[in-house]
C-alpha cells in the first residue's frame, strides 16, 4: 500500500510503527458554528482511509479532536452573552449529529482541548526548559530559529516567512515569525492557571499535547485539510520534535479544498453550505459518492447537479443487488461459503489495487460499477455464487462507506421522518447515560409513530411497520 506523504512530496510504502496497527490523528473542527460541507469532505476522506485500513486487516486507533478554546468561540460567546463552554457544547453535539448523518464512524477518541490543559502546560514547560521557547509578560512563544528544519512540510523557508504572511506582528517577540504556545489572560476570555500566570493555550500546542497523550511521541499518520499545512501542522512538528527529538508523524496526508465556484468555502466569506441543510436536500450517501468521485488530494467544486447525478448513479450501482434480492433468498444458502467466482474476483482485485494506490477512490468506484454489471450478466451462475458475489460487492461498497439503499417509505411525511430521527438521537443519548427507563419511554414513543427499531453495532436502524 502506498500513500502520498506531504512531507516528502512522494508516494511511499505505508510501513507502520507496529505491524498490524495504525495510529492516526486527524484535526477536527473548531465548534463555534454549524459544520459545513468542507468539513464533510475531510471527515469523509479520512473515514474512508480508516475503513480501508481496517478492511486490509489493520487495527486502527483514530483520534479526531475538538478545538474548543479559540478566538472565534470566545467572540461568539461574548456576542450571545453565554459561556464559551455553552457555545462549544452546542456545536460539538451538532457536529456529531452531522457526522452520524454522513455515515462517518465515530473516532476511537474525540478529545477536547479544554480537557487537556494540564498536558499542554507540562509540554510548554519542557520547551521553555530546553530553551526553544521563551516567556514575555505571561505569554510564551516558540522560537523557530531554534528548530532549523522549520518549513520542511510546507516548503517555506525562514526568509520568505519574514515577510509576515499569516504571522501575528508582536514587537515583544524575538523574531516576528515566532508563534504563541501560551497566551496571557485577557478580560472576557476563559483562562487557566499556569507557571506564567493565568491564560490559555495557543492553537498549535493543543494538537501536539493530545497527539502525544493518545498516540505517543511518534505515530503513523497525521491528517487534515491542505489549508492546515501552514502554519498549523508546521508548528506542530516544530514544537513536538523540539521536545522529543523524535519524528512526530511518519506520514502526512492532506485532502484538497472544497470550493464554491472559484472561491474557497469559508465561514468568513459567508458562503458556507451546512451539512445539516444539505442532508435534507440530498441523500448522505449521494454526497459521499459525489466526493469520492474525485481523488482526495484534488480540489473539488460544489455542484447541486452533480450531487443529484450521484444519487441517480447510486441507484444504478445497487440495482443488480436489489434485483438479486427479489428472486434469491440468500438465507437459504447459509453463508454462501466458498471461493469468490473468478468473474467477481477480478473486480475485487482492481478495487484493492486502486485503494492501495494512495486511496484512489475514483478508480475503486469504477471497479464497483463493473462488479455490479458483472452481477447483472451472471444469470447462468448458481444462486450460491451470485449471493457470494453480492456479499463481496456489498463488503467493498461498505469499505467506502456506501450502504445499500433502504426501500423508500411511501406516504411518510418529512415531519414524521424527522421526528423519528430526532427521537432516535435522544434515545441514543439516554442509552449513553445508562438511563434505561428514559430510553424505553422514547422507544415506545417511536413505535407509536409506526416505526420498528433495530439496534446494531453501528447504530440504531428503523423502518415502518408493514401493514
pLDDT per residue as tens digits for the range 61-87: 999 999 999 999 999 999 999 999 999
Classify residue 301: in a domain, yes or no: no
- The CA-CA-CA angle for residues 298, 303, 304, to 5°, reads 145
Residues 6 or more apart whose CB falls under 8 angstroms from that of 308 comprise 282, 286
When pLDDT is averaged across residues 446-456 and rounded to a whole number, the result is 81
pLDDT confidence of residue 332: 44
pTM: 0.84
When pLDDT is averaged across residues 436-462 and rounded to a whole number, the result is 81
Q: What gap in Å lies between CA 244 and CA 257, rounded to an integer?
A: 32
Q: 28 and 90: one domain?
A: yes
The three cell numbers of residue 124 are 510548554
pLDDT confidence of residue 133: 98
Number of separate domains in the chain: 3
Of 54, 43, 206, nearest to 124 (Cα)? 206
Among residues of the chain, what percentage have pLDDT more than 90? 71
Average of per-residue pLDDT values in the chain: 89
Residues 6 or more apart whose CB falls under 8 angstroms from that of 211 comprise 25, 63, 219, 222, 236, 240, 248, 249
What would the pLDDT profile of 359-392 be if each residue is shown by its tens digit? 999 999 999 999 999 888 765 677 778 888 888 9
More confident residue, 212 or 266: 212
Last residue of a domain, one of 399, 426, 446: 399
pLDDT band at 314 (very low <50, low <70, confident <90, very high): very high
H/E run at residue 261: none
Residues 6 or more apart whose CB falls under 8 angstroms from that of 160 comprise none
The three cell numbers of residue 213 are 497523550
Classify residue 120: in a domain, yes or no: yes
- The CA-CA-CA angle for residues 355, 360, 361, to 5°, reads 90
What percent of the chain is helix, strand and coil (3-state, nearest 5)? 50, 15, 35
Q: Is the pLDDT of residue 408 over 90?
A: no
Classify residue 279: in a domain, yes or no: no
pLDDT confidence of residue 409: 42
Classify residue 406: in a domain, yes or no: no
H/E run at residue 460: strand 459-464
Q: Is the pLDDT of residue 401 over 50?
A: yes
Of 66, 76, 1, 63, nearest to 32 (Cα)? 76
- Strand order of the β-sheet with 133-136 is 133-136, 139-142, 179-184, 199-201
Q: 33 and 107: one domain?
A: yes
Q: 216 and 326: one domain?
A: no
92: number of CA atoms within 13 Å, CB side?
19
pLDDT confidence of residue 42: 98
Q: How do 139-142 and 179-184 pair as beta strands?
A: antiparallel
Classify residue 395: in a domain, yes or no: yes
Q: 251 and 326: one domain?
A: no
Q: Is the pLDDT of residue 271 over 70?
A: no
Task: Enumerate helices (H) and strands (E) in the chain, giving the number of each.
Answer: 15, 15
Bridge partners for 168 per DSSP: none
The three cell numbers of residue 112 are 477536547
Q: Is the pLDDT of residue 1 over 60?
A: yes
In sequence order, which ranges of 3-83 are alpha helices (DSSP H)? 37-55, 71-80
Torsion region of 90: left, alpha or beta (phi above 0 gives left; psi -120 to 50 gives alpha): alpha
Domain residue limits at 334: 316-399
Per the CB < 8 A criterion, the answer to whether 293 and 299 are in contact is no
Residues 6 or more apart whose CB falls under 8 angstroms from that of 467 comprise none
The three cell numbers of residue 401 are 462507506
Q: 104 and 28: one domain?
A: yes
When pLDDT is averaged across residues 83-102 and rounded to a whole number, the result is 97
- The sign one gets for the Cα dihedral 142, 143, 148, 154 is positive
Classify residue 10: in a domain, yes or no: no
Q: 98 and 238: one domain?
A: yes
pLDDT confidence of residue 381: 72
Last residue of a domain, one of 376, 399, 422: 399
Classify residue 296: in a domain, yes or no: no
Q: Is the pLDDT of residue 256 over 90?
A: yes
Q: 381 and 342: one domain?
A: yes
Q: What gap in Å lies between CA 291 and CA 299, rounded to an integer?
A: 10
pLDDT confidence of residue 77: 97
What would the pLDDT profile of 161-173 be if each residue is shown by its tens digit? 765 544 456 778 9
**CATH value at residue 94:** 3.40.50.620
Q: What gap in Å lies between CA 203 and CA 235, rounded to an integer?
A: 10
Q: 139 and 216: one domain?
A: yes
Q: 333 and 451: one domain?
A: no
Q: What gap in Å lies between CA 355 and CA 343, rounded to an integer?
A: 20
- Cis amide prior to 53 (ω within 30 degrees): no
Residues 6 or more apart whose CB falls under 8 angstroms from that of 395 comprise 55
Q: How does DSSP classify residue 36?
A: B
Q: 46 and 134: one domain?
A: yes
What are the phi and psi torsion angles at 280 (to 5°)? -85, -25
Last residue of a domain, one of 399, 430, 451: 399
Per the CB < 8 A criterion, the answer to whether 290 and 310 are in contact is yes
Of 164, 156, 32, 46, nearest to 102 (Cα)? 46
Q: 33 and 182: one domain?
A: yes
Q: 105 and 23: one domain?
A: yes
Amino acid at each position: 500500500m502506498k500513500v502520498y506523504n506531504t512531507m516528502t512530496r512522494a508516494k511511499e510504502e505505508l510501513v507502520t510503527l507496529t505491524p498490524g496497527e495504525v495510529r492516526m490523528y486527524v484535526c477536527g473542527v473548531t465548534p463555534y458554528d454549524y459544520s459545513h460541507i468542507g468539513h464533510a469532505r475531510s471527515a469523509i476522506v479520512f473515514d474512508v482511509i480508516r475503513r480501508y485500513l481496517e478492511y486490509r486487516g489493520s487495527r486502527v486507533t483514530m483520534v479526531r479532536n475538538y478545538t474548543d478554546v479559540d478566538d472565534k468561540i470566545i467572540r461568539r460567546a461574548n456576542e450571545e452573552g453565554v459561556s464559551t463552554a455553552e457555545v462549544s457544547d452546542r456545536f460539538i453535539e451538532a457536529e456529531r449529529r452531522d457526522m452520524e448523518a454522513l455515515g462517518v464512524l465515530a473516532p476511537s477518541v474525540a478529545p477536547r482541548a479544554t480537557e487537556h490543559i494540564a498536558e499542554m502546560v507540562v509540554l510548554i514547560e519542557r520547551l521553555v526548559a530546553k530553551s526553544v521557547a521563551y516567556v514575555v509578560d505571561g505569554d510564551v512563544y516558540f522560537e523557530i530559529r531554534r528548530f532549523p528544519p522549520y518549513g520542511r512540510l510546507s516548503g517555506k523557508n525562514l526568509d520568505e516567512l519574514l515577510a509576515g504572511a499569516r504571522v501575528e506582528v508582536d514587537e515583544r517577540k524575538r523574531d516576528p515569525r515566532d508563534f504563541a504556545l501560551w497566551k496571557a489572560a485577557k478580560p472576557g476570555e476563559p483562562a487557566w492557571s499556569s507557571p506564567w500566570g493565568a491564560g490559555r493555550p495557543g492553537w498549535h500546542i493543543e494538537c501536539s499535547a493530545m497527539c502525544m497523550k493518545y498516540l505517543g511521541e511518534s505515530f503513523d499518520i497525521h491528517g487534515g485539510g491542505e489549508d492546515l499545512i501552514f502554519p498549523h501542522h508546521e508548528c506542530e512538528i516544530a514544537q513536538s520534535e523540539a521536545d522529543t527529538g523524535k519524528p512526530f508523524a511518519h506520514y502526512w496526508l492532506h485532502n484538497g479544498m472544497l470550493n464554491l465556484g472559484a472561491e474557497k468555502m469559508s465561514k468568513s466569506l459567508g458562503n458556507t453550505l451546512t451539512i445539516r441543510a444539505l442532508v435534507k436536500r440530498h441523500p448522505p450517501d449521494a454526497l459521499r459518492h459525489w466526493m469520492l468521485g474525485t481523488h482526495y488530494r484534488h480540489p473539488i467544486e460544489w455542484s447541486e447537479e452533480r450531487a443529484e447525478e450521484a444519487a441517480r448513479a447510486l441507484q444504478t450501482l445497487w440495482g443488480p443487488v436489489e434485483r438479486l434480492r427479489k428472486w434469491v433468498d440468500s438465507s437459504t444458502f447459509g453463508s454462501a461459503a466458498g471461493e469468490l467466482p473468478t468473474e467477481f474476483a477480478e473486480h475485487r482485485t482492481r478495487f484493492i489495487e486502486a485503494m492501495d494506490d494512495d486511496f484512489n477512490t475514483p478508480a475503486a468506484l469504477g471497479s464497483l460499477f463493473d462488479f455490479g454489471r458483472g452481477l447483472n450478466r451472471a444469470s447462468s451462475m448458481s444462486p450460491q455464487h451470485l449471493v457470494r458475489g453480492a456479499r463481496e460487492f456489498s463488503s467493498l461498497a461498505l469499505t467506502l462507506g456506501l450502504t445499500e439503499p433502504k426501500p423508500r417509505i411511501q406516504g411518510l411525511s418529512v415531519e414524521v421522518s424527522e421526528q423519528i430521527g430526532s427521537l432516535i438521537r435522544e434515545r441514543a443519548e439516554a442509552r449513553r447515560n445508562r438511563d434505561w427507563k428514559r430510553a424505553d419511554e422514547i422507544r415506545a414513543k417511536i413505535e407509536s409513530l409506526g416505526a420498528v427499531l433495530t439496534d446494531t453495532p453501528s447504530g440504531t436502524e428503523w423502518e415502518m411497520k408493514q401493514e
